Amino acid sequence: MTETVLSVKNLATHFFTRAGLVKAVDNVSFDLAKGEIMGLVGESGSGKTVTGFSLLGLVDEPGRIVSGSITFKDRELTSLSNAELRRWRGREISMIFQDPIATLNPVLTIGKQMRLAIAAHERMSARAAEDRSADLLSKVGIPSARARLDAYPHEFSGGMRQRVAIAIALLHRPSVIIADEPTTALDVSIQAQILQQMRVLAAETGTSMIWISHDLAVVSSLATKLAVMYAGRIVEQGPTATLLRNPRHPYTAGLMNSLPAMTKPGTPLKQIPGTTPSLLSLPPGCPFAPRCQRATAQCQHEPELTIHGDRGWRCFDPVGHMDEVSS
Amino acid sequence: MLGFIIQRFLQAIGVMAVMSLIVFCGVYAIGNPIDIVIPPEATQDLRAEVIRRLGLDRPLYEQYFIFLVNLLKGDLGRSFVYNIPVLELIGGRLPATLELVLISVVSASIIGVSLGIYAGYRPESWTAKTIMAASVLGFSVPSFWVGLILILTFAVNLGWLPAGGRGATIDIWGVAWSFPTLDGLSHIILPAINLALFKLAMMIRLARAGTREIMLTDTIKFARAAGLSEITILRQHLLKLISIPIITVFGLELGSTLAFAVVTETIFSWPGVGKLIIDSIAVLDRPVMVAYLILVAFLFVTINFVIDLIFALIDPRVRRGAAS
Amino acid sequence: MTRQSTPFSRFWNEFRENKIALVALSVVVLLALLALFASFVSPQNPYDLANLSLMDSRRAPGFVGTGGYTHWLGTDPQGRDLLSAIFYGLRISIQIGLAAGFVSLSFGAALGILAAYSGGRVENLIMRLVDLQLSFPAILLALVIVALLGQGKVQLISALVAAQYAYFARTAYGAAKAERGKDYIEAAVATPLGSRLVILKHLLPNCTPPLIVVATVQIANSISLEATLSFLGLGLPVTEPSLGMLISNGFPYMMSGRYWISVYPGVALIILIVAINIVGDQVRDQFNPRLRK
């Protein structure tokens, strides 16, 4: 059993807005082992991005972590001050964002931005910093790395920019990388390249990853474990292969059925009826109930977490077969 | 980048040409051009003589040509009131205005941007809210009123500072400047504050808006996620990103401040170009009015051009051009 | 039971939440009423020379004059009751502000919408002109026009309009252009409905909110600019004394301690402008989609 690097238990992050209380992350728990790639899947508004931010303590006002624990290498992160957390950010836990043109400062050179990231945690000479930066740039697949250090973000193409962001995230050899929709803004072909790069890097360095995405297809090609989020809750978790083969939560099943790859040519795409609920006005009980074909009266109550081996789901009447759950 | 500069330069020339045309039309076509040269009290014979001599009976486009040539030569006529060449007259008063404007603008910008960044960084703090409320006042209150109050408080009631005029001057590089002397400083403080107030309010609001916007971007989030300290983020990211819109506005507002100097100079009897123009309008000293307009247009165009240059230098996206 | 809520009532409800803005609005309304009914509320008609007596000139506040009533705010060099003069002055300031604002709005908006609707060279030409004008400070422009055209109410309003129409033009242009690019406008233009209808029914309503915001700011600016010009002696003629002129009249007396002649009209002016600006700020915040959570 590989060691657990990150353990999240009953995490709750709420936003205290003028319009009302928004439970963006509600009772989320998962574990991340060393070298494991976990996919955090959900539609926009499901709380997956806020979960990522919560792990780093970067939740913006008016939100904050209300309860729960985040244990990283036996240190409790929720009890740390911002100054203490800062020492972990970028060094032990890194984050990559969706749109690299927005994350890189347009008026600073790549080299300068990397040097700033290095200097945040380590003292080293300019020369040494340059060496490490160039080294990482070539590792993520950017040609003539040293020369490119003097370039500005707008002089790179989209895919290259994201590679630069990945390089910055890797500067201090973190144990965990949180990638928030890193390929969503890129062309499909570039997407495949980045995915491959990430897979190789993870295997080489033993870095754990949390890959946040709304695209089930993309994530399942990379992740060994999946967690499906809906309305701030994790509704289903488990190893990728078994989860996809035999989903238990109706939402997961719905997601799978709506994939174009799952549809026979000539037949209409199956959609999940209804729309994502507004987190300001959630119905009591299971949040998916209004859209669920199998909903009954008992779904007005909060479904408990059912655990079976290395899988878990929150549903009173799950789909699929019990005996085919684990392979 | 060179293409950008050349383009802007040509634009500047174009604007100057248009301005000269407008001023020309304004004076020669609408007004009576003879009034630029002769005071209204002159006799009929003198008028006819001058009209013939100066070719004012020639077709309009010929007159425009003469006007342009004179302009480029630097001949803007003679003032009715002072009877010296207008260029000399304006040139003599310009240093006073420049001194006032520069001191106001520089102090307003430095103080304004600092306060604005603070207000944007901690928008909910009591200090920030006070700053913003004060900036609304600085914005709304007409500057001549502020001048009045300043004089009333500091000159009349408290007697700390003089109520008007310019102080003793020292010659630096052949031009008379007053702020290096203590007496000059005491004279320049009140008008400088008066002039700076509007710009200060504007800088505060601009810096605050920019700071708030920038602090919410992914760039800052990414920097935080990488573990950069807040101070580093402020210095390396915020300051550099905010400098672009601020410098742009700084340039535009420089021209505006030059304009408002007119009011301040009148209230404080500051012997600058602004007071000159007000007096000239009152007595209809037309050559001075025309020259002032041309000068202001020229200054505007120059300032805009310089700002464009600076812009090209500091924004790498303009300097290096688009991606490969 | 649901209550019918019109956009206006929603707007008003949100407006009411900001107590400061509410106070400012009442101040504006109060001043406007005082100005409107100036002849009824003033103890004296300050411009009827028969009422004036030089015996009353430059008296301190609280002085009981020859007319038998108290001059609450003192008198000016001609013996006018300052309180009355302020009411009449307010009337003129507000009149000019509204007139200049309204004309600038109509002219500027028409220009901006025309530019956005026409596109091509017309659009370029108009917007270049507008941009040029925007970079020119209002006060200089006003100075120039007054210098060229002389003094008078119409000239002053023209000067103010010339200085300010550009803001309206740019705002209307931005809003109309955003709407113009939308597909349903293209479709409407293709029908034989006629361009005027398209403009009126589609483009115009879209421009209205930002134009209202600009209008409130510009009315305050007009009032301020007019006061400045009058103070410099370049505004309205002596027969129509605005607050600016009152202040300028009193300026020479400030050194000798007779501050009230300038200060009280000034205070009235400030209150008016600041109140309008506060209301304008609130209106702007409410119309700004980006600030809405």
Look at residue C69 and tell me whether its pLDDT is greater than 80: no
Burial class (CB in 10 A: 0-12, 13-18, 19+), C5: exposed
For position A327, what pLDDT does the model report?
44
pLDDT per residue as tens digits for the range B25-41: 766 655 566 666 666 67
Q: Average pLDDT, stretch A152-174?
A: 88
For position B322, what pLDDT does the model report?
47
Set of chain C residues whose Cβ sits within 8 Å of the Cβ of B18 = 132
- For the ranges A162-166, A193-197, C121-125, the maximum mean pLDDT occurs at A162-166
What percentage of chain C has pLDDT greater than the value 90?
1
For position A210, what pLDDT does the model report?
92
For position A252, what pLDDT does the model report?
85
State the DSSP H helix or E strand holding residue A24, giving kind and residue range, or none if neither. Answer: strand A20-33
Choose the weakest-confidence range: A318-322, B185-189, B287-291: A318-322
CB of C242 within 8 A of CB of C226?
A: yes
Length of chain C, in residues: 293
- For residues B226 and B222, what is the distance between their CA atoms, to the nearest angstrom? 6
Choose the weakest-confidence range: A234-248, B134-148, C70-84, C98-112: C70-84
Length of chain A, in residues: 327
Mean pLDDT, chain C, integer: 78
Set of chain A residues whose Cβ sits within 8 Å of the Cβ of B323 = 154-157
For position B111, what pLDDT does the model report?
92
- For the ranges A67-81, A283-297, B310-324, C16-30, the maximum mean pLDDT occurs at A67-81
For position A182, what pLDDT does the model report?
85
- Max distance between CA atoms of chain C, in angstroms, equals 75
Show which residues on chain A lie within 8 Å of chain C, measured between beta carbons.
Answer: 17-19
Give the SS3 label for residue B22: helix
Name the CA dihedral angle for A47, A49, A53, A58, rounded to a multiple of 10 degrees.
Answer: -100
Angle made by CA atoms C272, C273, C279, in degrees to the nearest 5:
90
- From B191's Cα to the closest Cα of chain C, the distance in A is 16
User: B13 touching C, CB under 8 A?
Assistant: no
Set of chain A residues whose Cβ sits within 8 Å of the Cβ of B322 = 154
- For residues A162 and C224, what is the distance between their CA atoms, to the nearest angstrom? 52
What percentage of chain A has pLDDT greater than the value 90?
7
pLDDT per residue as tens digits for the range A274-317: 777 777 777 788 888 778 877 778 788 878 888 877 888 888 77
Name the CA dihedral angle for A10, A16, A20, A24, rounded to a multiple of 10 degrees.
Answer: -40
Q: Which residues of B149-183 are buried (b: 16+ CB within 10 A; e: fewer)?
A: bbbbebbeeeeebbbbebbebeeeeeeebbbeeee
Handedness of CA C109, C113, C116, C118 (dihedral sign): negative
Look at residue B55 and tell me whether its pLDDT is greater than 70: no
The letter for the amino acid at B2 is L
C291 pLDDT band (50/70/90 cuts)?
A: very low
| A106: preceding bond cis by omega (within 30 degrees) | no
Q: How far is CA B124 from the centre of its chain?
A: 34
- From A278's Cα to the closest Cα of chain B, the distance in A is 23
Pairwise CB contact (< 8 Å): B300 & C136: yes
Chains A, B: CB contacts within 8 A come to: 91
Look at residue A262 and tell me whether its pLDDT is greater than 70: no
For position A21, what pLDDT does the model report?
85
For position A212, what pLDDT does the model report?
92
pTM: predicted TM-score of the whole model, two decimal places: 0.76
Which tokens is A197 given? 């790069």
Burial class (CB in 10 A: 0-12, 13-18, 19+), B42: middle
For position B261, what pLDDT does the model report?
87
Choose the weakest-confidence range: B86-100, B177-191, B267-281, C156-170: B177-191
Which tokens is B45 given? 């014979």
Give the SS3 label for residue A88: helix
Name the CA dihedral angle for C269, C271, C272, C278, rounded to a multiple of 10 degrees.
Answer: 140
What is the secondary structure of A93-158 as a DSSP string? Answer: EEEE-S-HHHHS-TTS-HHHHHHHHHHTT----HHHHHHHHHHHHHHTT-SSHHHHTT--GGGS-H
pLDDT per residue as tens digits for the range A100-111: 888 898 888 899
Q: How far is CA B1 from the centre of its chain?
A: 27
Give B181 or C85, the one with higher predicted confidence. Answer: C85
Q: Average pLDDT, stretch B202-223?
A: 87
Q: Which residue of C has its CA nearest to B286?
A: C147
Residue A210 pairs with which residues in a beta bridge?
A: A38, A178
For B137, which of C137, C244, C274 is closest by C-beta distance? C274
- Max distance between CA atoms of chain B, in angstroms, equals 85
The HSE-up count of residue B240 (CA atoms within 13 Å, CB side) is: 17
For position C235, what pLDDT does the model report?
75
For position C4, what pLDDT does the model report?
57
Q: Average pLDDT, stretch A164-168?
A: 89
- For residues B173 and B182, what is the distance between their CA atoms, to the nearest angstrom? 19
User: B143 touching C, CB under 8 A?
Assistant: yes
C195 pLDDT band (50/70/90 cuts)?
A: low
- For the ranges A227-241, B2-16, B163-177, B274-288, the maximum mean pLDDT occurs at A227-241
Show which residues on chain C lie within 8 Å of chain B, measured between beta carbons.
Answer: 132, 135-137, 139-140, 143-144, 146-148, 220, 224, 227-228, 231-234, 244, 247, 251, 254-255, 257, 259, 262-263, 266, 269-270, 273-274, 277-278, 281
Choose the weakest-confidence range: A8-12, A58-62, A268-272, B261-265: A268-272
Mean pLDDT, chain A, integer: 84
Sort strands A233-239 and A63-72 into parallel, antiparallel or unpaired: unpaired
Chains in contact with chain A (at least 3 beta-carbon pairs closer than 8 A): B, C
Mean pLDDT, chain B, integer: 79
Look at residue C272 and tell me whether its pLDDT is greater than 50: yes
**How far, in Å, are A206, B63, B67, B251, C215 from residue B299 at the CA level?**
63, 25, 19, 11, 30
Q: Average pLDDT, stretch B200-214?
A: 87
pLDDT per residue as tens digits for the range C26-54: 888 888 888 888 777 777 776 666 666 66
Whole-complex ipTM: 0.84
| Alpha helical stretches, state H, chain A | 48-56, 82-88, 100-103, 110-119, 126-139, 145-148, 158-170, 188-205, 216-220, 240-245, 250-257
pLDDT per residue as tens digits for the range A132-162: 999 888 888 888 888 888 888 888 888 888 8
- From C12's Cα to the closest Cα of chain B, the distance in A is 23
Q: Which residue of A has its CA nearest to B240?
A: A107
For position B323, what pLDDT does the model report?
40
What percentage of chain B has pLDDT greater than the value 70?
85
Name the region of B260 (left: φ>0; alpha: ψ -120 to 50; beta: rest): alpha
Give C206 or C35, the one with higher predicted confidence. Answer: C35
User: B140 touching C, CB under 8 A?
Assistant: yes
